[in-house]
Structure 1
């Protein structure tokens, strides 16, 4: 074991990025493009259903709990029949047969892959590979779903061989590649950003791997991208401020459908209507997404001939068709680039293909871009973020005060615990996390400007802490900045929201 830093660490990281990027390309290059896209597309559908079914797909809470507790260990792999049959029988009254078939197929794969990983020294019950129960497998696949989609985007660029990737083989072939290379590529890009942002960054290196002195987590709970004010938070904390639109019926026996996509377009518009979203390009894009959904197959896949697709783009009058095609159709490129891709369509030459999930994901991202530049929304989202922090503090046992202003000095969130005042500045400054891979130097520069700004904010708060002491009659004040979007920094008083649990008082667990 030895410690490396600076140029030596950079050289190692860049070498590993090259190796893993080449590894992904080499594996994909064996397969025929169209077969690989179709097989992996089907696999992603099954995995997405596997994730969502125990969480949202059935209303029976006891059935969901029973499902999540089912073991997928060696005993299951040796004799899966009884469990497989029990699951099919339990789900039959609730879901259509094709959904159940895909769910049980992923269940079998998860058990087999967990045993295989363990046989190769990767414990299926470790912190990162949790394939020993259905509930654990749901968490596992949810943590890898972005990598799965990135592989799909990469296939038109990389797949040029003659082998046929069969749907029933796709997960077995590509999941080890996700574990070995895809996760590593994302991690090494983060390490490069840490290296450039932190003077004391180093790597502990041995013959097996490299352990970083610092880490950086970009995602929220359930591996979701951070947002200024997500649709779920708006519904929870501002549900009384918008009117739910009339929704069309959804087939409860399916997990995903075009009806659900159309309802999503309505819901996004209604929730953010107060900020003028319906008056923007979002309306035109929403109409287009609904039009694309008319070309769905099996209420999920969307496939449109290229000429027809372009005529649809030309038929609308709000957006430039060429710019629109760039927004909607992924340009074939390498895996690292595709980790931040949001275009809903893949270009397969004479046609473009997508699915209801990719269309919904794109529209949600498109909404964030258009709202992000609106000052009114920025201000409103700031207040929502303060309420999110207050909610979380109360869950952790803090007493949140009503203090907003003392002697014309404003405070974001002031809470107390065990005789100590917690003065928390809530910062909802947007950071484009895609720049970590795409334009790292720009990301590091903006990250540095934010951490400097947060440092000045803390200094300002410390200079007026006497106001809080006088108001609350307590002698001790601690100051924090909680950043909605994660930043890289060395100041322990700056806490990324996805690590807000660091504020939890010692000795308190749960809430």
Structure 2
């Protein structure tokens, strides 16, 4: 699609990116349409497993030194010295995890080397920013960032592909990633530009016909490309350990990267971490438990779950509260779905990774409706913000109430008071679709609320002065869910680690 030249904003920008979304959805459909669906499904399924393993291998290595050496291995197969490192790495993986894991790693790394060279020649790497596939560490970051798009593609294959074109597995990345980069990434980029355009009256973009850059940078994900949450399982486990106690986890095998036991442990972790909210009494929690018992007999190699259509229909009809498969072929539906099964011919496929994601999404979405959870998640968020500020050199005063008026996090640095309000207001900024007008309205409403909150704090800063005996006070809002604002006193939590005082 031809880029405009010069500056673009307002209605012209909106029209261009709506056209871009439509164009790239149709283009990706055309790409999938030409492939033979069974072969394509199997190849992408194997690719997804290989990337799942690559991402998780560092967590299964013996120590930090072994992990560091693993991450530094380059994907350059043309360098004789590095080729020896790759062979040595493959040998280690074979001894530790078996021949199949080692071979999948080798195939993935070889494909990564080839596509990285192609991306470099084509100029694609310029669009990827810090992402590339030069070594294992960078490849992990790249595939983690593309995980959702590979999963979406796998969801769509059996619904769209009708052609005869086939290719061997070793050519999968070469066949799929260019279209994924050119189409699916551009769809997401277009969506967020539409949101920015509606949120910021002065938003504009400038193009030289090859590159399009905007006058505002927005980061909607957190570290390791994770979506923001009101209260994550990790935060609860780390910051409320006193309420949880020891969790008796089932033992996993030392020589396997994945195990179905991890799915059971995920349920145990949720039950222990959120027992305060009686999560084990929820109907959906009980259904999940029974569902996992039902499918345990269909687990293959402790990673994959394979059901024929008769077994799947039986299980699907049994558990009405769980959406196990998405019938829709609409791109945005598939992008945003966390249904754990994908279909190919007469079989339905899932993995322990998809099941854990399904459990996580299902239970956290249910908890979001719990009023007690909403309130307590705010306190945990304050603790997380305090932890980060302390690491950045702010002195925590532990002042939470002055003359019966509550404050969140009051700190001191360089003989100045920095008063942080921690706002945990939910905004669904991670669901990419055509609802950009609604998201923009919600964003602007939140920003107005945050600006009023800042004014309110200014009006009562005399209370802080009275307690701290410090005259200079600065007020900030830290938003758990990233908002779009030009107000420098509104800090998105996913940028707090890098935030510095002006």
TM-score by length of 2: 0.94
Give the aligned partner of residue 151 of structure 2: 149
In structure 2, the residue corresponding to 1:191 is in which secondary structure? Answer: helix
Cα contact 1:87–1:104 (8 A) shared by 2: no
Say whether residues 1:138 and 2:140 are aligned partners.
yes
Give the aligned partner of residue 166 of structure 1: 168
Distance, in Å, in 1 between the alignment partners of 2:154 and 2:462 is 56
Q: Which moved more, 1:13-22 or 1:84-93?
A: 84-93
Q: Could you tell me how far 1:19 is from its partner in structure 2? A: 2.1
Question: What root-mean-square deviation, in Å, do the aligned CA atoms of Structure 1 and Structure 2 show?
Answer: 2.1
Q: Could you tell me how far 1:6 is from its partner in structure 2? A: 1.1
Give the aligned partner of residue 375 of structure 2: 379
Distance, in Å, in 2 between the alignment partners of 1:436 and 1:401 is 40
Distance, in Å, in 2 between the alignment partners of 1:152 and 1:79 is 37
Match of 1:49 among 43, 46, 53: 53
Match of 1:276 among 275, 278, 281: 278
| Cα distance change on mapping 1:203 and 1:126 into 2, 3 Å | closer
CA offset digits 1:92-136 (Å, max 9, x no partner): 443222222222222222222222211222448973332222112
Give the aligned partner of residue 189 of structure 2: 187
Match of 1:38 among 37, 42, 57: 42
Say whether residues 1:19 and 2:23 are aligned partners.
yes
Cα contact 1:306–1:351 (8 A) shared by 2: yes
Q: Could you tell me how far 1:242 is from its partner in structure 2? A: 1.1
Distance, in Å, in 2 between the alignment partners of 1:175 and 1:182 is 10
Cα contact 1:128–1:140 (8 A) shared by 2: no
Say whether residues 1:63 and 2:76 are aligned partners.
no
In structure 1, the residue corresponding to 2:433 is in which secondary structure? Answer: helix
Cα contact 1:436–1:443 (8 A) shared by 2: no
In structure 2, the residue corresponding to 1:482 is in which secondary structure? Answer: strand
Say whether residues 1:220 and 2:222 are aligned partners.
yes
Match of 2:237 among 230, 235, 238: 235
CA offset digits 1:365-408 (Å, max 9, x no partner): 00111100111111111110000101111111211111101111
Q: Could you tell me how far 1:502 is from its partner in structure 2? A: 4.9
Give the aligned partner of residue 310 of structure 2: 307
| Cα distance change on mapping 1:70 and 1:351 into 2, 3 Å | closer
| Cα distance change on mapping 1:43 and 1:74 into 2, 3 Å | closer
Distance, in Å, in 2 between the alignment partners of 1:244 and 1:330 is 37
Distance, in Å, in 2 between the alignment partners of 1:3 and 1:240 is 55
| Cα distance change on mapping 1:253 and 1:277 into 2, 3 Å | same
Give the aligned partner of residue 426 of structure 1: 422
Unpaired runs of 5+ residues, structure 1, are: 507-511
| Cα distance change on mapping 1:285 and 1:266 into 2, 3 Å | same
Distance, in Å, in 2 between the alignment partners of 1:332 and 1:92 is 40
Give the aligned partner of residue 509 of structure 1: none
Q: Could you tell me how far 1:309 is from its partner in structure 2? A: 2.1
Distance, in Å, in 1 between the alignment partners of 2:477 and 2:393 is 19
Unpaired runs of 5+ residues, structure 2, are: none
Matches within 5 A, 1:336-355: 336-348=332-344, 350-355=346-351
| Cα distance change on mapping 1:254 and 1:7 into 2, 3 Å | same
Runs (4+) of structure 1 exceeding 6 A deviation are none
Matches within 5 A, 1:490-505: 490-505=486-501
Matches within 5 A, 1:114-133: 114-123=116-125, 127-133=129-135
Say whether residues 1:464 and 2:460 are aligned partners.
yes
Match of 1:401 among 397, 401, 405: 397
Give the aligned partner of residue 8 of structure 2: 4
Q: Could you tell me how far 1:168 is from its partner in structure 2? A: 2.0
In structure 2, the residue corresponding to 1:205 is in which secondary structure? Answer: strand
Give the aligned partner of residue 263 of structure 1: 265
Cα contact 2:75–2:135 (8 A) shared by 1: yes
Distance, in Å, in 2 between the alignment partners of 1:107 and 1:180 is 22
TM-score by length of 1: 0.92
Distance, in Å, in 2 between the alignment partners of 1:40 and 1:26 is 17
In structure 1, the residue corresponding to 2:157 is in which secondary structure? Answer: helix
Give the aligned partner of residue 82 of structure 1: 84
In structure 2, the residue corresponding to 1:422 is in which secondary structure? Answer: strand
Q: Could you tell me how far 1:438 is from its partner in structure 2? A: 4.7
In structure 1, the residue corresponding to 2:97 is in which secondary structure? Answer: coil
CA offset digits 1:267-310 (Å, max 9, x no partner): 22221121111000222123213422321222212121223223
Q: Which moved more, 1:344-353 or 1:291-300?
A: 344-353
Cα contact 1:99–1:254 (8 A) shared by 2: no
